[in-house]
A and B are shown apart, each in its own frame.
Chain A
């Protein structure tokens, strides 16, 4: 308080800096001019059949999609969050959009050069990554996978990494066995919608005892105007295997809100481990709160076998609305679930995110580390559930949910739910709320560090626990994203 009065100059500087972040333009805002193939607007049995036919899917998939659609018609859109947004005109959306093509490209040479240029601008040069980064990228523009690299190397080990549409053709047994087992088509409004209309996504299968030699990665991108994106990802880690999967997102600038309702299902069998990392940087809307992506995602992992482990790491900086609760069902004995999250909201962004840890197996353990950062006029909520069922002897959970506020116009909320039915459980939850203090900034100023850099440092330090969980390439990108969003936001 005192410092403010004595030093009004600094305050104005701070406000200017705040203004600066507010003015920050979305770096990846552009539209690729590729001819799009679109279906009629709206949603009915015919559209579903068309989507299914277009993809030449076996009958069981068409049936499954139709069942989902019929169930969806009976469901109500959930509105229990603190999120405020206008109704989504589900009947006016296009449920399928794909770059027009004659034949599926077999190599990068056959890929539309303009599309490749898009990736170039996004900083995802496929060829380069292929050579330098050692990352296999399954790139999705709108709905269809355009190019998949490193396939050969992976297939030598028996690893299947392909678009899910391809897996439906080539590996129907695996699809039949696992699709919808973790997130059934009846799960929730958005997951059901996704089940009915999902266009594409990634499929990963790691055979028993195989340790996937590289980080699997997929870039999703929303492109065509008015197109809802409905990716579906299914990852299966068979006994004793290990895989690390990366998902990164950018989307072009649009004034219309775009809907994104993805489903991610993970299955870890006995002794298997899945590490799923996300950096989400979709268009967050203008500084007046116009446009931006509506991101309603259902992500869930099943630790099916003994000693299995699933770890979610997410860095959420984009989207106008984020509604996302990556969860773990800890069914196997000694199974482990982890959730590391950094969620940053600015301007009029709204995020309601967290996790669910459902302890069913004996000696199951879970760890939750959530770091929320709110700036501007945004609202950022952690909502989580830790449930210990009757038979989950000796289960353990530790949750740490911190919030950092920058500016006095934003909101930070914590809604942890703990439902404990077994006395041997050990459950601990802690949360704190704080702001970047003037003392901290002053301390760094004193050592010749500008206020802007100081905030960057403090926030990086605050979120460090989560960044450390990210694979190297992602950690760099995430740090960069944070500093872009936070530059000058001296509180």
Chain B
């Protein structure tokens, strides 16, 4: 039977004393330390500069339930898997790894990639995971990271062997069944790429309309010399789901980190991506779209730390906001003192589709080296009247013309999707959602 707690604080207190220590996958010290931090820290308020535009009172005050019946519609799941049919599918239900619903991971190992659920990690993998957490130096440390680390009992440890190009993408699906109160899920993934290896990973957060959840995931990436990853994060959760994620990527010499984020669902999403250049000649490409309607609140934060010279970062995020939705972009490019010949670009464009929609954007640069090329730009506006008129004068209805323009606005980002079947899926989702937003 599911226990119900009035809010997340009460739930956390119970959970901390709880007996789950035996399930804990990182070191006992990590658990003690993280839980202490959870107890000591408060939830961020709008007085915290990094959370200025994202109030989380509604997340903190939700009633929580622990334990679920794990009932998942097999047909629905099959449909989700078919979005990337060629992929290796791994399924998490309410944050717990499901061997039954997932593909055979032993088969994947033949391609030179070791994918283990955290509960099956061996000692040396555990140490590596531990080290990744220790080395992650988040610029925005908050209680959610400590929660994830203090409670973690599921997720994946992924290691791609050196000089291996894994052709089959990994499709991680996070689903929830229908529940009465919110389920808290805190999956953590440790993704390590060996020298000159290549990997593609899709994280797909999806649940049914009746699902209530608070998703608090964390990802730790470690890219060795010359390696490259395409990392996708697709958020299409229900409007009763809150989602607060933290990702940290360390990139070594000549490695390439490409991140795509499509935030379409949830009630509130806060996505924090931090990148550390720990080697020269490396590249980070961050792409994203946030599309909000009704009362949705979508917040993207990025922090790109150019700690080494000769690296390139390129960020491009676009927001489309209708209804009473709010969008936030809060990005910072840090160029450290010795990071000469840095090339950093940061762009954020926003479309407001309704009178009640709102956007707050803060593209920031902090530069301590002189021989660098850094630029950023941001725009906010509505659909271009002239462009609408142009299309209308050619016999296209106003509604349809607006759809075309918004579609094109989004397509400039989606064109960078490298997985064939994923692009139509995203665009279809976008179009479907756009058609529900009342036109201008």
Contact = CB atoms under 8 A, between A and B. Distances in A.
Interface of A: 80, 388, 390, 403, 405-435, 491
Given A411-B368, A435-B370, A417 B357 contact: no
Interface of B: 49, 53, 337, 340, 350, 352-355, 357-382, 440
B212 to A, nearest CB: 30
A415 B381 CA distance: 20
Contact of B361 (A405, A418, A425): A418
Contacts of B365: 403, 412-414, 431, 433
Given A420-B350, A427-B379, 7 more contacts: A405-B370, A421-B358, A425-B381, A429-B378, A429-B379, A431-B365, A433-B372
A350 to B, nearest CB: 13
A425 B370 contact: no
A388 B370 CA distance: 34
B382 A433 contact: no
A412 B376 CA distance: 14
Contacts of A433: 365, 367, 372-375
Contacts of B369: 405, 408
Contact of B378 (A409, A418, A435): A418
Contacts of A434: 373
A410 B370 contact: yes
Contacts of A424: 382
Nearest to B350: A420
B359 A420 contact: yes
Contacts of B49: 80
Contacts of B359: 418, 420
A412 B373 CA distance: 12
Contact of B376 (A406, A407, A414, A421): A414
Contact of A491 (B370, B378, B380): B370
Nearest to B369: A408
Max chain B C-beta neighbours (<10 A), residue from A390, A427, A433: A433
A420 B362 contact: no
B361 to A, nearest CB: 5
Nearest to A383: B364
Max chain A C-beta neighbours (<10 A), residue from B354, B357, B363, B365: B365
Contacts of B358: 419-421
A377 to B, nearest CB: 10
Nearest to A397: B380
B360 A411 contact: no
Contacts of B53: 419
17 contacts: A405-B369, A407-B370, A408-B369, A418-B359, A418-B362, A418-B380, A420-B350, A420-B352, A420-B361, A423-B355, A423-B357, A423-B381, A428-B379, A429-B363, A431-B363, A431-B376, A434-B373
A441 B227 CA distance: 39
B371 A435 contact: yes
A4 to B, nearest CB: 10
Contacts of B377: 428-431
Contacts of B362: 415-418
A137 to B, nearest CB: 40
A405 B374 CA distance: 12
B382 to A, nearest CB: 4
Given A420-B350, A421-B358, A433-B375, A427 B381 contact: yes
